[in-house]
Structure 1
Amino acid sequence: MSPERTAVRRRRVDASMDLLTSLYRDSLDPGYAASGKHRKRWWLVGLVAMVIGLMIGTSVADQLRAAPAEQVERDQLVQRVEDAAATTDALRARAAELQQQNRALSEGALAKDPAAAEVQRQLDLLGPATGMQAVTGPGVVLTADDADDAERRGSKVVDIDIRQAVNGLWRSGAEAIAVNGHRLSSRTAIRGAGDAITVDYRSLTRPYRIEAIGEPNALLQGFPGTPGGAWWAYLKQNYGIRYELTSAGSLRLNADPGLGVRNAERKP
């Protein structure tokens, strides 16, 4: 018997039904079955996303609940600072009144003593320069403020800028200077406290107003040639910080109530 006939005899009877058997056994496409396995994993991904969302929501809710309390604390702190500033202003005004009364009593008591009267006269001459007495007269006003672009580096006025302006006015011939109404003396400190500028530990607010009593033309012409004038010209040109120097026909600068005679001795 030939090999071909042997192979034909050995074929299965249902060999011709293989295609139908395969379709029955594997009714789903292999790719569809694989994707089904991946879809079974989505429930786990959904569960993880739900847990993460719950955690984020809880955190946001906690922050929202804490925000009002923080705002209340901030408002209370601001109110305390404002109250303390108002109290300080009242005490300074009271100190100025007491200084005036003390001055009047001193003049009355020392009027009959020629030596004491001479000392008082010298004190009167030195008082305006030291800041112990209020002064009036013509001068100039330097008004300064931050640049329009507040986000730009170097666009805000800081304490050293105020010091440079004050020193420039002194060098130009100023006889008395006040910054935002605070009279300057040899013991005045102009410093930075965080984002604020302080004069004798009193915070300043924008815009900054520097008043200087002296001969107006001399101050106007002399300030640009000082290191302080060059400093401010550089700030204006490179950082956009604004400042303007104008003459004033009459200014009044109050005395510094923090000054006073603490120790005195008679010299031969």
Structure 2
Amino acid sequence: MESTNKADLPKASEASNNYSMGLLTSLLYDPLNYGYSAQEGETPASSSYQKFLVFILAIGLAFMSTIAVRGLLDTRSEKDSTHQQLLQQVRSEKAQNQRLLEEVEKLEEEVKTAATADIPLPQVSQELLAAAHLTPVAGPGIVATLSGGSSESSDSNIQDQDIRVIINELWRSGAEAIAINGIRVGPRTPVRTAGSSVLVNFQPIEGPYTIEAIGPANDLNRGLTQGSTGTYFSALYSQYGISLSATKSSKLNLPAMRVPQINTEKINVVTEEKK
């Protein structure tokens, strides 16, 4: 039996060290797939593909981020432009309002100055006063007399509408001034019936009624005796005995129209200081 030299046999400690170094190397270079690769005999995946994929994803993310940032910047730029336009409009409106306020204040000062100034009133011409029936007048014309019927019936009494028919016809025929029983009237003077009397410019008068009119006598007389007015009074005379007669006059004197006075005892004039 041959004898074996102990020096020729591998040492147990050296074999154990070699195995440990192999495990460390596998864990260092293939830490995830070492066990699976050893079991199935597969080769670990290359890290180059993973790096390429990560690179592509990074480029895509950077591109999308750039687009998003640019969109935000464009939107902000548009908002800033709109904001600046609105600010400009507001400044313009404020300036316009300020100019208007200054103009209003200037006009108010002018009004105050004019109100406190001692400015003489202009002289009113006599022609204007005569046209307004506010001054006595004289001239040729006609005198019409309206008398009620002799019957005791109320239909024989003269009504306000009968007098208004005469007045309207005289104005239409060219009358320049009219008076009823000495009361000067104008185109808008009220004539109303009050019981058995007639109110002219709120003054009661009794019949017979004398109506004086200054103007072209022939035209005035023709207007009362012909046309619709003549027919109207012809019917009144036939049915109720109401008569109308007219004569020419070379000169009539008519008073000024009375202007009703307004009671101002309770009126307080409001001045600028009291407001």
Higher helix share: 1
User: Larger Rg: 1 or 2?
Assistant: 2
Q: Which has the higher contact order (CA 8 A, sep 6+)?
A: 1
